[in-house]
Structure 1
Amino acid sequence: MQQSTILPVDMKVLMNHIYEYKKGVRRMVLFTFNKKYEDFAIRRLESQNIKYVIQPVGNDRLNLYFGREECLNAIRMIVTRPLNLLTPEEDFMLGTMLGYDLCSQCERYCERKSKCS
């Protein structure tokens, strides 16, 4: 009888993100998950030669960015503090880089910018 490994939902989501990245659906991914799965996530990405950046979020959670090297280089420059503290411009760039809907990103930017004024 074959033994199957049961993956937590978080890791199934990660596996789907990796699949989409490998198929070219995404150039970069942001995945937030529980720190207890950090070793698993890193092993999986490294085994597939996928570049990544990890940033602590707090509450035992991590933000894992992975994808193209040029995108990760920009992430290292843009995301230097918690995401909720990004400027409207930084938030817009991040959302756009992650492939979020452009019109929604424009609306979000205008809303955040008007709150700053």
Structure 2
Amino acid sequence: MTAPDINPVELKVFLNHIYEYKKGVRQMVLYTTNRKYEAFAVNRLKSQRIKFVIQPVDEERINLFFGKAECINAIRLMVTRPLNLLTPEEDFILGAMLGYDICAQCKRYCTRKARRSVSN
């Protein structure tokens, strides 16, 4: 990807996530972006020696997980299908790993679990 192809506004969040990770604010990040930025993102993460996993979302977008090796190793084992197909338990664990509000994750888990029991 050449410099004119890169829109800094669209990558500002990505670069901020890297900054927060390097400062210890986050242990792991999930960043969804357009595939056209994949090469830029991968090169930046490799140059910073940050572990990552890429998960396709659709024809245009990817999920980019990056962070501590322990977290990325767990993601490789757990996130083996689209995020909307994760079990309520997997979804809860992922949210906790990403540092989301734990009470909101508990509420989300209970809602998803109740929805699943109704559909079964």
Q: TM-score, normalised by structure 2?
A: 0.90
Aligned counterpart, 1:33 = 33
Q: Secondary structure of 1:64's partner?
A: strand
Structure 1 runs of 4+ off > 2 angstroms? 6-10
Aligned counterpart, 1:3 = none
> Residues 63-112 of structure 1, C-alpha deviation per residue, up to 9 Å, x if partnerless?
00000001011101111100000000000000000000000000000000
Aligned counterpart, 1:9 = 9
Q: d(CA) in 1 for partners of 2:66 and 2:83?
A: 16
**Unpaired segments of 5 or more residues in structure 1?**
1-5
1:100 paired with 2:100, answer yes
Q: Secondary structure of 2:31's partner?
A: strand
Query: How many pairs were matched up?
Result: 112
Aligned counterpart, 1:63 = 63
Aligned counterpart, 2:85 = 85
Q: Secondary structure of 1:44's partner?
A: helix
Q: d(CA) in 1 for partners of 2:17 and 2:10?
A: 11
Task: State how 1:103-114 maps to structure 2 within 5 Å.
Answer: 103-114=103-114
Q: Secondary structure of 1:100's partner?
A: coil
Identity of aligned residues (%): 70
> Residues 35-74 of structure 1, C-alpha deviation per residue, up to 9 Å, x if partnerless?
0001100111111111100010003100000000010111
Q: d(CA) in 2 for partners of 1:95 and 1:55?
A: 16
Aligned counterpart, 2:18 = 18
Q: TM-score, normalised by structure 1?
A: 0.92
Of Structure 1 and Structure 2, the greater helix share is in 2
Q: d(CA) in 1 for partners of 2:8 and 2:33?
A: 11
The alignment yields a C-alpha RMSD, in angstroms, of 1.0
Q: d(CA) in 1 for partners of 2:64 and 2:116?
A: 28
